[in-house]
């Protein structure tokens, strides 16, 4: 299976993670999630693989997080997923997906577990 990475080329952690995956000799499909639309079912699948809920995958330091009041615990998982698809900058990065699972590359070395 080709390893996939949800990647932001302007993020140092994302670039470090991509380098680690490539150094392991893995064939990599790069998904530039800020440019390429992620479908709702894809994000739901990624969350399942990560064993996370949507709130845990949110980048809470982003300006849009505060503007949309995403700290509101009354928001449903579906609402948060739809918001992340509308505003992909809210999705924590990078995310690496392989046949062995998925990991967030923070720290970048954490993806070695699934390569």
* CA–CA distance, 103 with 115 (Å, rounded to integer): 10
56-66 residue pLDDT tens: 999 999 999 99
Q: Which of 81, 83, 86 is nearest to 53 (CA)?
A: 81
Catalytic residue flag (residue 11) = yes
Question: Residue 12, exposed/middle/buried by CB under 10 A (0-12, 13-18, 19+)?
Answer: exposed
46-103 residue pLDDT tens: 999 999 999 999 999 999 999 999 999 999 999 999 999 999 999 999 999 999 999 9
Catalytic residue among 4, 5, 10, 11: 11
């Amino acid at each position: 299976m080709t390893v996939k990475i949800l990647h932001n080329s302007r993020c140092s952690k994302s670039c470090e993670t991509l380098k680690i995956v490539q150094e392991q000799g893995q064939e990599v499909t790069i998904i530039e999630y800020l440019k390429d639309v992620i479908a709702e079912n894809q994000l739901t699948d990624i969350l399942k693989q990560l064993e996370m809920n949507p709130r845990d995958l949110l980048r809470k330091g982003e300006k849009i997080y505060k503007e949309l009041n995403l700290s509101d615990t009354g928001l449903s998982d579906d609402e948060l997923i739809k918001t992340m698809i509308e505003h992909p900058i809210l999705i924590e990065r990078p995310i690496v997906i392989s046949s062995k699972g998925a990991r967030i590359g923070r720290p970048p070395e954490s993806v070695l577990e699934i390569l």
